[in-house]
Amino acid sequence: MKRFKTLHKTLQTYLLFILILSVFLISGCGGGDSAGTGNWLPSSAPTVTSTDPVDAATGICSNKIVTAVFSKAMDASTITAAGTFTVKETATGNNKPGVVTYNATTRTATFTRTTNYTTGLSYTATITTAAKDTEGNALAANKVWSFTIGATVCANPSPPGIADPVSCAGPGPVDLGTAASFGVLVGPAGGATFTITNPTSVTGDTGAASYVPAGGVSTLVGTKYTGVDALYVSAKADMLTAIACAEARTCNFNYAVVTDFGTVAVTPGVHCVTAAMSVSTPLTINTPGVYVFRSTGALTSAVNATVAYGGTANASNTSIFWVPTGAATLLANTTFLGTIMPGSSAAITLGANSTVTDGRLLSNSDVTVNTNTIAIP
C-alpha cells in the first residue's frame, strides 16, 4: 500500500509537470497575448526578379535605360537615395552619371544615364542592400549585373537634355523622357508657379519651383518635387526637348484659320493650325494612333467640352499631344484627353471641375488648377 501511494504521488507530480510545460509552450509559440497581437516572424527579404539588360548581355544600345524589377513593393526613398542604384564602367570603376526613379505600380527601378554609354565598354550595375521594401526589410544581398555596349542607338526614352531623333521625327509618341512620370510639371526654376486654387487630384508626380496650395487637402498619387530635386531639373529639360520635338514634326494636316477640332473628323497624324485651336463641341478620337495638335495661337475649350475615345481607340493604343504656341485654357467642366505642353513659355489654366486624363500638364510657365483631376496614362 505504501508503495502504491508513492507511485500515485509520483504520477501526479509528472502530470502536473506536463501541464505546466504545455502552458509554457503554448504561450511562448504565439498562442496570443492580452492585446491580441501575437508573435510574428518578420516577412521575407525582397529580391530583384529581373533586370534589363540581363547579366552578361552584349551589343546593348548606347542610350539604354537600365531597369530592375523587385519581388515586393519597395520604399522609393531607399531606391532613389544616392549610392543605392549605380552603374559604373567595369574596368575603371568610374560612376556613370544618371537619374534613378522608382515606379511603385510595376515595382521597377530605372537608371536613366545623363550621357550615352561608350561603344565597346562594359558596365556594371549594382543595387545595394540599402534598398528596402515598404516593411523595412533590406534587399537580401547586393544585386550586381554587367553588360557590354554595342554600336546602335535605340528608340527608347531620352535621358535629360538628349533628344532622341527617332521620336522627334515620329511617327511614334512624342518622347517625354523623365517628364513622363509627371502629371503636372511647371516651368523654370526660380520663376513659374503651380497654383492650386481649390483642392485637386493628381495621379502622377508634380514638379515646380514654387507651390501655392489651396486651403483644403489635395490628393497626390505620386511624388512632389521642388526646384532643388535632381529629377525635377532633368524632367524640366526633357520637357523642353519634347516640346521642341513636337514642334519640329512634319505636318500631315494643315488648317489656315482658327479651328475647332470638335468639328473635324480627325485621324492620326500631326494637325497644324496657323491660328488658335479649340474644342467647343465634342471631339471623339476613334482611330488608334498618335495625334499631335499644334497651333501658332492659343488652345481653349468651351464650358462642358469633351474629348473622348470612341471606335477602337483607347489609352493603351492611342497617344494625344496638344502643343499650342499660346496659353492653354480649359473652361469649367471640360473633360479632356492628352498631354498639354505649350511652347513659348505659355501658361496652362484649368477651369473648375475639369479633368485631364491619359495626359499631363507640362508648361514652361505657370499652371493654375481649380478642383480638377489630372491623371497620367
* HEC string for 162-183: CCCHHHHHCCCCCCCHHHHHEE
Q: Is the dihedral of CA 358, 229, 245, 256 positive or negative?
A: positive
Burial 151-162 (b: 16+ CB within 10 A, else e): eeeeebbbbbeb
The secondary structure of residue 41, as a DSSP letter, is P
Query: Tens of pLDDT along 66-78?
Result: 999 888 888 988 9
DSSP 248: H
Query: Over the stretch 266-302, which tens digit does the pLDDT of each residue have?
Result: 999 999 999 999 999 999 999 999 999 999 999 999 9
Mean pLDDT value across residues 353-365: 96
**pTM of the predicted structure, to 2 decimals:** 0.60
Q: Tell me which of 174 and 328 has the higher pLDDT.
A: 328
48-149 folds as: Immunoglobulin-like (2.60.40)
Residues 6+ apart with CB under 8 A from 196: 211, 212, 213, 214, 218, 369, 370
| N-term to C-term CA, the chain | 89
Residue 27 is predicted with a pLDDT of 42
Residues carrying CATH 2.60.40.1220, the chain: 48-149
CB 324 within 8 A of CB 342: yes
- Nine-digit cell string for 60: 546593348
Answer whether residue 36 shows pLDDT above 80.
no
